[in-house]
Structure 1
């Protein structure tokens, strides 16, 4: 997975810090749009150069979204201008003829719209340097189904091309609606990490944060996933849980390669936890998101840690040691770490 951040002309003041934060976590891509109707043509050229320059200074390769409206913003010969200021690839939105797209591709590598184009539309570009990038959807209830993203991503791969998609941010959201910029509608209210995990599981190669800013924690969690393939689940420890247990949970492990339907089972946890000061009593209810450990009464399973993916009944052999903030379906064999903060008193 390649990770990308976004910067926009209307949020140019955020671009430098956002791109730097993204690069620090391992991001290699940047996205901007040069066809937004609300942007001011009188300043678009200079602001676009500043946004692209901020991305390039952080070592990010820039993908710029363009349409016939880009000429209104940037003036004549916009493709040569974009190349001169450091844009690495242009994403072609609707409104261009096939011949025009091929002409643009002679100036800059292109990305095509994964959300709208069919195999017959893509065939003329089979011998061109192409990637596919899905749309994002600023208005609630207008996003794609994940199944549609799976189909169009498989189409991209049939041509040997990469496919990218967007996740919504959790800090500053782009106006005028401020409802997030995900590709998949069902992702709009999820954490950035959960969205990214779902897209990668769907086959997406490149995950762009659509909104112009993320929280520091979300960049950190996305970075762990992009660089190391580790899904870090944040949560809160149960009262009285020993600090040694919490510390051991933060050590990266992995979901078993024969995953359970109802649990994320940490493959190496038995050896790591069996000798720790485990809770003395089990049997607590296990709602979805519960972090549990098997007690000595479980025999050779003592010490096995799991995260409940759905509500489960209590079991006297199992103690709840905490709860994750968000249930993320981690695929088989994927890296997992659980970071539990101490419960607040009172």
Structure 2
């Protein structure tokens, strides 16, 4: 199951603001909360009261809560690795270990009597996880989550991110990564150039970041790293298809009603014997074989353009194609739409026999 999450920073916000944000996120289908405990500076008893109140509210919204902790927090709050009752009493569903320990401690934590999930830092391409499993870590309570990177140009490069993530997916563990909001300003530190995992996401629209993480096939939960995202961002994320690639398009002004129907109302399937020049959706040509696709002015086929075969195209009439490499004009095809520029790269994730859909640009 793929989920959406938000982050809150109680040490830098008010309880009222956090609750309002959580309620709004829940309204748009968000199901988990990343809650930072790293910068906690208040006495233990005061922290317990404040955090438990917010956590109780989040749980009432049917949201899972994971607390971000470090060895320094364990020491500061006098919490033993063998006794996680403090986090249980707060009402948390799990704790994220920002820094690793020795493997044995993590393994012991996964066998806690409270059913607390232990979330590991995924952003290191080392054999950290096998070490924990060698110490008989309980995979039923092990999950993974990447870091976010508040300073621009410090986020993970894509190939490194994939390698790190595959280490966790290899064992069937749930994974998570962060995206960044353009509207949000809160984070754990005084530097906040955006709170994303992948550096290439820092300046992309937030919904494109989420689409990309899910398209990689290595991330289950997508979490907004900074607070507070705008309602429009939450709405757009909540409306995404979490399971197949969904490309945002702008329709040609002269597209027919029938062509718009083929583009927007069908779930497309890429042909299995692929070509490098286009993504071919061929099932639609069978469905619409008896329909009329009037010819229009031929135009060059540029990357990201969407074409449909017209009446001149014989058996290929009604076939939908997404252009991957520039090609010359072909009078047998009508240009009906264009994939928005920032989503061109998502076509790389439409593999042989992959399903995909189109949605209108907002």
TM range (shorter): 0.7 to 0.9
Shift in CA distance, 171/311, structure 1 to aligned 2, threshold 3 Å: farther
Shift in CA distance, 319/341, structure 1 to aligned 2, threshold 3 Å: same
Are the equivalent residues in 2 in contact too, given 1:5–1:19 (CA < 8 A)?
A: no
Separation in 1, partners of 2:144, 2:308: 43
Separation in 1, partners of 2:276, 2:235: 29
**Is 1:138 equivalent to 2:187 in the alignment?**
no
Which residue of structure 1 lines up, in the alignment, with residue 94 of structure 2? Answer: 89
Which residue of structure 2 lines up, in the alignment, with residue 338 of structure 1? Answer: 358
Are the equivalent residues in 2 in contact too, given 1:7–1:51 (CA < 8 A)?
A: no
Which residue of structure 1 lines up, in the alignment, with residue 126 of structure 2? Answer: 118
Aligned 1:29-108 pairs, distance under 5 A: 29-36=32-39, 41=42, 44-70=47-73, 75-77=77-79, 79-94=84-99, 96=101, 98=103, 100-101=105-106, 104-105=109-110, 106=112, 108=116
Are the equivalent residues in 1 in contact too, given 2:295–2:332 (CA < 8 A)?
A: no
Structure 1 residue runs of 4 or more that deviate by more than 6 Å after TM superposition: none
**Is 1:261 equivalent to 2:281 in the alignment?**
no
Q: What residue ranges of structure 2 are gaps of 5+ in the alignment? A: none
Q: What are the Cα deviations for residues 63-120 of structure 1, in whole angstroms up to 9, with x where unaligned?
A: 22111343588x4449433322321110101264556545654363311111126225
| Aligned residues: CA RMSD | 3.3
Q: State which drifts further: 49-58 or 293-302.
A: 49-58
Which residue of structure 2 lines up, in the alignment, with residue 7 of structure 1? Answer: 7
Instruction: Give TM-score scaled by structure 1 length.
Output: 0.81
Q: State which drifts further: 256-265 or 140-149.
A: 256-265
Are the equivalent residues in 2 in contact too, given 1:4–1:31 (CA < 8 A)?
A: no
Are the equivalent residues in 1 in contact too, given 2:281–2:319 (CA < 8 A)?
A: yes
Instruction: Give TM-score scaled by structure 2 length.
Output: 0.78
Shift in CA distance, 160/231, structure 1 to aligned 2, threshold 3 Å: closer
Which residue of structure 2 lines up, in the alignment, with residue 181 of structure 1? Answer: 195
Separation in 1, partners of 2:297, 2:17: 48
Shift in CA distance, 11/320, structure 1 to aligned 2, threshold 3 Å: farther
Are the equivalent residues in 1 in contact too, given 2:156–2:199 (CA < 8 A)?
A: yes
Q: What are the Cα deviations for residues 210-261 of structure 1, in whole angstroms up to 9, with x where unaligned?
A: 23325546644555422xx243322322122234432442214133152443
Q: What are the Cα deviations for residues 139-158 of structure 1, in whole angstroms up to 9, with x where unaligned?
A: 21111122222222222234
Q: State which drifts further: 44-53 or 139-148.
A: 44-53
Residue 245 (structure 1) aligned to one of 259, 262, 266: 259
Are the equivalent residues in 1 in contact too, given 2:252–2:336 (CA < 8 A)?
A: yes
Separation in 2, partners of 1:124, 1:72: 21
Structure 2 SS opposite 1:123:
helix
Are the equivalent residues in 1 in contact too, given 2:158–2:198 (CA < 8 A)?
A: yes
Structure 2 SS opposite 1:141:
coil
Q: How many residues align?
A: 337
Give the deviation of 1:302 after TM superposition.
Answer: 1.1
Shift in CA distance, 313/99, structure 1 to aligned 2, threshold 3 Å: same
Separation in 2, partners of 1:277, 1:47: 65
Shift in CA distance, 95/240, structure 1 to aligned 2, threshold 3 Å: closer
Which residue of structure 2 lines up, in the alignment, with residue 210 of structure 1? Answer: 225
Q: What residue ranges of structure 1 are gaps of 5+ in the alignment? A: none
